Chains A and B, each alone.
Chain A
Amino acid sequence: MSNILEVKNLEVEKNNEKLIKDLSFKVEEGKILTILGPNGAGKTTLLRALLNCIDYKGKIDWKVSNNEISYLPQSLSRKEFKRYPISVKDFFHLKTKKDKDIIEILKLVDLEDKIIDRNPSQLSSGQFQKLLIAWGLVGDPKVLLFDEPTTSIDIKGQETIYALLHRFWKERNLTILLVTHDLNVVYGYSNAVLCVNKKKLCSGIPKKILTPDLLEELYGTKVKFYKHEE
């Protein structure tokens, strides 16, 4: 498989503080890469740099064009939709004008079409997250960037979200970059991992490289983890 993304010597600075130092990595096409690291490790900053939302030094080389990348930021919460009388349909109109397509894609993520006239802020957090996935899938992107997609959802809801992502990854040949704290997700769903704490600590196949020692180095404390059996 060829690389869909190559990052070389990436550096991001804010107010004279280095948020990311000398980070280089590659992402193969068709992988689910989990970006792992403690709070403040620069994970969200990394995603924002990859999307050209912030200034950076170094090289970021995507083999796909910008409009083939879909991004769902961590900062996007249901609250933000409260200020406007915006319906689910309006929100999707940013990407497609065809109502038929909208209903179809809502079905794919198991959302009923009657929510189309509601304000996204009125949905449950699980429904909202599904809505964002559906929104991200409009226009057949090749790459999905997800920043902690399940922070505010209960465990059962989280399983659903990751199962959905996994299904779309398989069906649509996607490459997914995922920021998460959840080690179960890393083992259960991703086939590549990048550990960062301002700089790169490790990268490779999760089951091979995520040793208890490494996790302790990453999070600065002993981490309980479960290694899934083949």
Chain B
Amino acid sequence: MSQFLISLITTLFISAIAGYLGSLMFTKRMALVGGPLGHLALPGVALALVYNFNILWGAFLTIILGIIIIWGLEIKTKIPTEALTGIIFAAGVALGFLFLPMDHAKEALIGDITNIGKLDMILSIIFSILVFIVIRKIYLKFILIGISNDLAKSEEIDSRLYNFIYLICIAFIIALEVKIVGTFLPVALVAIPASIANNLSKNLKQYSFISLGVGALSGLIGVLLFKQTGFPAGPLIILTATFFFLLSLFYKKA
């Protein structure tokens, strides 16, 4: 299997599932916490590069650690979540730069799809499918939590549990994304496709599948552009998604 094919398949799976996951990020809390998660991957990536293990695990480790610290501090101190995530995010980035080997800085910051191995591809496919199944199961209930927490509670939906499941899924997908778009852009691939879908769809089915489709399409076009131009794929994917977003604004007004 050629490197290009491995990169392409991995990118397709991850960008599709990132888009799908993003369609649930519309609750305020999730947008706040989800944003900086990618940056939290930086210290993990730095560690992985220093000690020479797969950056996927490094990224996942520090993202989960960051989430636990934010949640713990939130319960203990009652400081608003946005302030806490801001602080933890800044500390994470600072710590990352302390250890990051500078000859690998570009890979850590904006990703490098030529560095994706076969194992990464297989892991990406497995995790993408797993996350898809889990999110599909909680989808409607999660939307109800977003509409009214009281209503969700009266339907016996435990919002804390669902929020936690969702965060874990986000952590996995963002860790996977690091290889493709680096640690600074992953949340864009989660947020932009959903914003596009929100402009175009009338019901939840359209919404979730347009999110997934736009994610995949941005990934595909980004990788093809990379092959043509030689620019790094990560920024190309995000810019493609942004371009689609601008197009969707015109459609919405029409």
Contacts and interface: CB of A to CB of B under 8 A. Distances in A.
Interface of A: 48, 51-53, 66-67, 69-73, 75-76, 80-81, 83-87, 89-90, 93-94, 117, 119, 145
B202 A51 contact: no
B140 interface: yes
Contact of B207 (A53, A72, A84): A84
B153 to A, nearest CB: 4
Contacts of A93: 140
A80 B148 contact: yes
Contact of A87 (B146, B156, B204): B204
A141 to B, nearest CB: 11
A84 B26 contact: yes
Nearest to B26: A83
User: Interface on chain B toward A: helix, strand, loop, or mixed SS?
Assistant: helix
A84 B146 contact: yes
B161 to A, nearest CB: 15
Interface residues of B, number: 23
B102 interface: no
B42 interface: no
B154 A51 contact: yes
Nearest to A83: B26
B203 A85 contact: yes
A52 B204 CA distance: 29
A8 B153 CA distance: 23
Nearest to A67: B156
Contacts of A52: 153
Contact of B147 (A70, A72, A80): A80
B197 interface: yes
A87 B202 contact: yes
B140 A85 contact: no
Given A51-B150, A71-B150, A75-B148, 19 more contacts: A53-B150, A53-B153, A66-B156, A71-B154, A80-B148, A83-B146, A84-B26, A84-B146, A84-B204, A85-B202, A86-B143, A89-B203, A90-B140, A90-B143, A90-B205, A93-B140, A94-B140, A94-B144, A94-B155
B153 A51 contact: yes
A69 B153 CA distance: 12
B151 A71 contact: yes
Given A69-B154, A94-B140, A76 B148 contact: yes
A145 to B, nearest CB: 8
B156 A90 contact: no
Contact of B151 (A67, A76, A84): A76
Contacts of B197: 85
B165 to A, nearest CB: 18
B204 A90 contact: yes
